[in-house]
Amino acid sequence: MIDGIKKVPEDPNILFINPPSLRLIALKDKFTYPFPYVPYGPLHVATYVEKHGFKVKVYNADFNVRRVLDKNEEVIWDEVRNVLRKLKPDVLGISMRTLQYRSAIRTAQIARELNSDVVVVVGGWHPTFMPKETIQEKSFDFVVRREGEETFLELIKALIDGKPLNRVRGIAYREGKRIFLTPEKPLIQNLDVLPFPNRELLIYKKYYPYLEISTITPSRGCTHHCTFCPSNAFWGYRTRSAKNIVDEIEFLKNKYGMEEFWFLSESFFINKKNVLSFYE
């Protein structure tokens, strides 16, 4: 960490951000992404944290790729800066893949320019599989490894209460020049205990297309172990019950009037019993 262990206010503003990547590529290569996408990874974690009484928002800095075509890259970073300035996060959660590494660093640096006391927590595939290398970046305070809901919440509570960080499983952090990796935290086996992702936490929600808001994640991970894919190593494989999935469909239909739903899953149909139960 930076300059020793930081504490977090008792009632912190928490912002989860998906740093720009596709927008930067679009600016360089002049391609257009078909639609703004909802960052469901950070949104799931944010919803879980909100359920436990914290103030949370989610910002996808890639939400509008088309907007920046033929414009200077600084337009994107001005937007990021303005969002951070407006929301004034005490805790900034950054989700990233390797493609977003440099972008995540710049996002953290901008946050520190605006608030030197901000606590920056990074998670996602890249930090999970390269935690020691990631936490060496001075702009980052913590790495959350693998599934983020329980670990992020425990970390925030520990920082608020001033409890020892080595008791929080599934993180990486610095103390001076030393790097610490705590033991891995077990994955949540019963996904039905998790709340449905709260789309109301999304900044610029009104700009997302119909099918993005109605996307459902019926499972996590994959049963296969392909060498080119990190899915199983990150998530393992777990599925929600058919009833829980149907409950979310009914919730989205009642709240937003949704009639079509997009399943975001790599291996949902592998579980034949669960699929048949769902269709029944």
Tell me the per-residue pLDDT of 153-171, one tens digit each, with 9 for 90 and over.
Answer: 999 999 999 999 999 999 9
Kindly state the average pLDDT of the residues 267-273: 76
* The overall pTM is greater than 0.85: yes
Tell me the per-residue pLDDT of 4-63, one tens digit each, with 9 for 90 and over.
Answer: 567 799 999 999 999 987 666 655 555 555 556 788 899 999 999 999 999 999 999 887
For the chain, the first-to-last Cα distance in angstroms comes to 51
CA angle 52, 53, 56 (to 5 degrees): 100
Are the folds of 13-181 and 214-279 the same? no
**What is the C-alpha to C-alpha distance for residues 279 and 276, in angstroms, rounded to an integer?**
5
Give residue 140's pLDDT: 98
Domain residue ranges in the chain:
13-181, 214-279
> Tokens at residue 9, please?
């206010």
Tell me the per-residue pLDDT of 247-262, one tens digit each, with 9 for 90 and over.
Answer: 999 999 999 888 888 8
Tell me the per-residue pLDDT of 214-226, one tens digit each, with 9 for 90 and over.
Answer: 889 999 999 899 9
Between 278 and 30, where is the model more confident? 278
Q: Which CATH architecture has domain 13-181?
A: 3-Layer(aba) Sandwich (3.40)
* CATH 1.10.540.10 describes domain 214-279: no
Give residue 182's pLDDT: 98
Between 271 and 238, where is the model more confident? 238
Strands (E), the chain: 13-18, 55-60, 91-95, 119-123, 142-144, 171-175, 178-181, 215-216, 219-221, 237-239, 262-263
**Nearest CA-CA partner of 20 in 82, 67, 80, 66:** 80
